[in-house]
Structure 1
Amino acid sequence: MISQTEYLKVIRPLLPAAAFKPNANKLFILAINLLILGLGWTIARDLDRWDLGWLWLYLPLSLIMGNSIVICLFAAHDMMHGSTVEQPRWRYVLSFLALALLWMPPTLWKSVHNHKHHTETNAIGDPDRMYLVGQNDTWGKWIQNLFVPSSGVNYALLVLGMATSWVVHTFRHITSILLFNRDDVDYVPAPVVVSPRKRQTIAIELVAISLIHLGILAYLKFSIIAILLAYILPLGLGYAGVMFYIYTNHFLCPMTDVNDPLVNSVSLRMPKIFDLLHFNFSYHTEHHLFPSINSDYYPLVQELLQAHYPDSYNLIPVGEAWRLLMATPRHYRDETTLTDKLDRESVICPFAVSVKELV
């Protein structure tokens, strides 16, 4: 395997200087989608006056609002990596607003995603990895087994899981840090420990986020119909879209001791409209190589990877990625072997061939 640093020595000199400059134009896209959400909530205030037979007309707007939730996360994701807003204070404020809709305190996101996931991707210390079959049978592991796409998942529970797994992911880490903040917490795949000051900040941010959501519900007049169609449904659709990317980013890859993004990450061939809407998030190997560059340049990074590392670069059509997720179990037996919760199956990770060839 090759470390991230070694790849950078080859690829970094071939990229233009503009790729490393913040692109504030994406804030305009974030603003549009926040306006879409505001418009959707404003229309929903009168849904209790609609005839029941006409409520289906709101569903397309629920879908559009769900996509706006996805965009909020990916916009905040880029901001937190420094590729959109250069000034730290504005970066924090805007990221907070975008992440609030996903119940994610920005200080928690930075600790879990930037500081741990990106430095220990698919390693034993990665808080976003799948569970090891040998880990304790906790409620977190039970939920993954029940709801995450795999060869043994129930399809009805999969649908429920796609809409709620983001909440579970966030809840696991929030409670792990706020209630315990120790490295022996076993209901997360890998615990994250933060400083007392960050722990306090996460708690304050969570209270503020709760007030924002309470304000949204109050704006909807606590109407059951409005809450279902303009709050729960868009959030569920948005969370499902986010989790679809997260599952395909790494869950088909082996665990690695060396942070080799070409082994522990997957890039997807997506319809161009989704790359346009979602800031090229499907170029995930590229992102792990260069987390802070302008995502408009990920296609160029992909071309360079295909030219220099054609045998180890993982690029797969999105439909094939989902098919593989549904054909394989979701627990690690070892670095390259997947199994089910009871350790009855034995399946080599679809992209483990890279490890075998490079070790």
Structure 2
Amino acid sequence: MNSVDRQIQITQAEYVKKLRPLLPDEAFLPSFNKVWILLINVVILILGWGTASYLDQWSWYLLWLYLPLTLVMANSVIVLLFSTHNLLHSSAIRNSYLRQIISLLGLALLWMPPTLWKVVHNREHHTKTNSRYDPDRSYLYEQPKTWGKWLQNLFVPSTEVHPLFLSIGLGHAWGVHTLRNLSSVLFFNNGLTRYSPAAFKVSAKERGSIALELLIIIGIHLSILSYLQFDPVKLILSYFLPIWIGYGGILFYVYTNHMLCPMTALNDPLVNSLSLRVPKLFNLLHFNFSYHTEHHIFPGMNSDYYPLVQELLKTLYPDRFNLLDARAAWLLLLRTPRHYQDEQTFTNWSGKNSLACPLLHGDGLIQDGAPQDRC
């Protein structure tokens, strides 16, 4: 398949029309068990902080024994985002007030008001995926070099990123993403802010809800810090490290979702999205989030059925479907510049190093797990 074929794009609705009759009806029923998993992970975090409250009674040479719990809590941070992500795409909880309360619990450690998430993710990202109007895309080279663009260039994997700043970015780039969107709608809300990849507006009602939810989130974080008595050891082991590691795990997925793909004017999930092969344990823990192209075709589907969708895509669209091993995708990110020179070309901060999108020619489906290095 050549690059000309890839320029012929297919809408999400056309994929749905072809695939939906081949899938069982139960794949589209609400899955309440993921809500229970969300709540279980809230309990895990509470128990972790409860254990940490006694760390001042531990001998210093025993503090390392808390680190396994730190990792479990970090995974809970990841699970809270992905489970809330599924919840807000589905009708598992029909009561809007209950859904808002539970989603607020799920997104609090991400500093993400659920009303903002529904706007930036469900409404903006999913309908305008990797287009010029998607707030989650990489910056265009032609966009001004604002603080938002500078920080993304500093933190995200690319040919130019420094390993130190990449490591720091894994723990902090999510905060930059949230700050950009929060400040844009709370302080300006005119769709004209230049420091975001693509600015958007919210309604007056949504803006009020976002502000109120943010105040509640601030209160939750202050309560945790106060409960831990602002003790540096307790905070590092049970608050900062779980959040930083959790954010890093989330961003590993997020970076690979679309950053290697060309931009598309038409929302074609098989061109503008990428699915990963990861160990089965991670798919079990993270609700099959690696099946990202499948999710963009059926965002409200029970994620347990995404492997079935993938098999259909591999059969029906073998030359369009982007599927890479996680390690291969990460290495490609490190071998490509991070800004869009045009829809099919990446370039670096200075604009002097340009490369064609590595998935442009439809060879994203790699059978042996090793991508062809087109860079």
Length-normalised TM-score, structure 1? 0.97
Q: In the alignment, is the contact (CA less than 8 A) between 2:12 and 2:267 conserved in 1?
A: yes
Task: Give the superposition deviation at 1:87.
Answer: 3.3
Q: 218-227 or 105-114: which moved more?
A: 218-227
Aligned to 2:57: 49
CA distance in 2, matches of 1:31, 1:135: 41
Tell me how far apart the structure 2 counterparts of residues 17 and 328 of structure 1 sit (CA, whole Å): 41
Q: Does 1:210 find its partner at 2:218? A: yes
Contact 1:331 1:341 in 2 (8 A): yes
2:351 maps to what in 1? 343
1:301-348 superposed Cα distances (whole Å, 9 cap, x missing partner): 111111111110011100100000111110000001001111011111
Name the residue aligned to 2:331. 323
Deviations 1:20-47 (A, max 9, x none): 1001011222222111111110011111
Q: Which residue of 2 aligns with 1:237?
A: 245
Matched, 1:118 2:126: yes
Q: Structure 2: how far apart are the matches of 1:187 and 1:48?
A: 43
Residue of structure 1 equivalent to 2:19: 11
Q: Who is 1:104 aligned against? A: 112
Aligned residue for 1:84, secondary structure, equals coil
In structure 2, the partner of 1:187 is 195
* Residues 256-280 of structure 1: CA deviation (Å, up to 9, x unaligned): 0010000000000010000000000
For residues 219-238 of structure 1, the C-alpha deviation after alignment (integer angstroms, 9 at most, x for no partner) is: 11211110111000000011
Question: For residue 196 of structure 1, what is the amino acid of its counterpart?
Answer: A
Render the CA deviation track for 1:90-117: whole Å, top value 9, x for unaligned: 2221111100111000000000000000
Take 1:165 and 1:329, find their aligned partners in 2: how far apart are those partners? 17
CA deviation map 1:75-133 (0-9, x unaligned) = 10000101533333322211111001110000000000000000000000000000001
Superposed structure 1 runs of 4+ greater than 6 Å apart: none
Identity of aligned residues (%): 55
Find the aligned partners of 1:143 and 1:91 in 2 and give their Cα distance: 34
Between 1:261-270 and 1:192-201, the stretch displaced more is 192-201
Normalised TM-score (structure 2): 0.93
Q: Please give the alpha-carbon distance, in whole angstroms, between the structure 1 residues aligned to 2:278 and 2:342.
A: 30
| Match of residue 278 from structure 2 | 270
Residue 59 of structure 1: aligned partner: 67
Letter of the aligned partner of 1:192 in structure 2? Answer: F
Matched, 1:73 2:81: yes
CA distance in 2, matches of 1:152, 1:247: 15
SS in 1 for 2:350: coil
Give, in angstroms, the shift of residue 15 of structure 1: 0.8
CA distance in 1, matches of 2:64, 2:139: 40
1:118-172 Cα offsets, whole Å, 9 max, x none, are 0000000000000001100100000011111111100011100000000110011
Structure 1 residue matching 2:312: 3-state secondary structure: helix
The residue type equivalent to 1:353 in the other structure is: H
1:29-74 superposed Cα distances (whole Å, 9 cap, x missing partner): 2222111111110011111222221111111111110000000000
Match of 2:366 in 1: none
Amino acid at match of 2:107: L
Matching residue of 1:225:
233
Corresponding position: 1:91 with 2:99? yes
Residue ranges of structure 1 left out of the alignment (5+ in a row): none
Deviations 1:196-249, CA, capped at 9 Å, x for gaps: 111111001000000001111111121111011100000001111111110000
* 1:281 corresponding residue in structure 2: 289
Q: Does 1:37 align with 2:48?
A: no
Paired with 1:186 and 1:316, the residues of 2 have a C-alpha distance of 33
Write the distance in 2 (CA, Å) between the matches of 1:247 and 1:306.
Answer: 23
2:243 and 2:278 map into 1 onto residues whose CA distance is 22
Q: Structure 2 CA distance, aligned partners of 1:119 and 1:193?
A: 15
Aligned-residue Cα RMSD (Å) equals 1.1
Aligned partners of 2:337 and 2:355 also within 8 Å: yes
Report the counterpart of residue 166 of structure 1 in structure 2.
174
Partner Cα distance (1:162, 1:57) in 2: 24
Q: Does 1:251 align with 2:259?
A: yes
